[in-house]
Amino acid sequence: MNLTLAIVILNWNGKKLLEQFLPSVIKHSQNATIYIADNASNDDSISFLKATYPSIKILQNKENGGYAKGYNDALKHVNEQLLCLLNSDIEVTKNWLTPIISTFKNEKRTAIIQPKILDYNNKTKFEYAGAAGGFIDKYGYPYCRGRIFNTIETDTGQYNDNCKIFWASGACFFIRKKTFELLNGFDESFFAHMEEIDLCWRAFNLNLDVKYIATSTVYHVGGATLNSTNPKKTYLNFRNNLFTITKNATGHIFILIICRMMLDGIAAFKFLIEFKPRHFLAIIKAHLSYYTNLPKLLSKRKTLNQTRKYYSLKSIVWSYFIDRRTLYKRL
């Protein structure tokens, strides 16, 4: 039986990105239906699409709800069995969909997949947002095969194996529609950043598999919406990371949170001595938002099935900064 696939690209004032990257998606995705989910743009994205690509389906959201709500709202109107949530700043490659669809067809427990994600501006390097598949340590810090903190590896074929991972990148995120519905979609309180890790963790807690497929490759610009120098990104990353572990981590959650508070305090102090006061304040603001939302997060935690150990590495912070293990294969 053939599986139907929808490629859904979330857009917000991204006409230039659509002009640049949509042609490769159209060229190499003949067997998929392409949707643009527009987050209430106020540029001329929609008029451009209607004039240039009239066959592409447009889903118009009423507001800019960020990545999480934007996709939740749009995907209610998509009926294909498989969903590819694709960033608008990604160039895809020939036959990129074939191994993905084949894996979904042959592996019933595989619910979520990501391809190999390389850097569009330096195609020999992995890209920060996902690289060759994501993992998480005991304290909730994410890292990837091919990228640990700001150390990004050159692709020499070292991760050319298809394998299980813990989380798949939201930059190019494949998921079964029935799985997305089973998990009630993304947590909209996240707005943007790390909502895909939260979703993958919830899938993991239901004994579903997340996989990396090396035989599919895409190239990602990264930072097209918020780059790493933006304090808002710092705020969302620290806040949403705390949201994620509180909802999903096994064990004594308050001991874990106390440890995270200490580690986040070190990170905040590092920003301060680097003369980045706005990032220091972003971490403080993230923690204040977390404390405000804590009762709601604990309520969500009670509804989840938490039975599996989620980490193989206790502390990526210790391994990277103290033991100086900057490559995934040295962990």
Residue 240, CA distances (Å) to 38, 69, 194, 291 in order: 24, 15, 6, 12
Predicted pLDDT at 192: 87
The 10s digit of each residue's pLDDT in 296-309 is 999 988 776 666 79
Predicted pLDDT at 302: 79
Low-confidence ranges of the chain (pLDDT < 70): 223-228, 304-307
CA atoms within 13 Å, Cβ hemisphere of 227: 4
Residue 280, CA distances (Å) to 76, 172, 258, 317, 320 in order: 38, 30, 19, 18, 21
Spatial neighbors of 220 by CB under 8 A, at least 6 apart, are: 87, 89, 90, 117, 118, 119, 120, 127, 129, 130, 171, 172
- Count CB neighbours of 24 within 10 A: 17
Predicted pLDDT at 308: 79
The 10s digit of each residue's pLDDT in 257-307 is 999 999 999 999 999 999 999 999 999 999 999 999 999 999 988 776 666
Whole-structure pTM value: 0.95
- Give me the residues paired with residue 9 across strands: 36, 86
Predicted pLDDT at 251: 83
Q: How far apart are CA 106 and CA 270, in angstroms?
A: 47
The 10s digit of each residue's pLDDT in 246-257 is 999 988 899 999
Predicted pLDDT at 1: 73
Per-domain residue ranges of the chain: 96-331
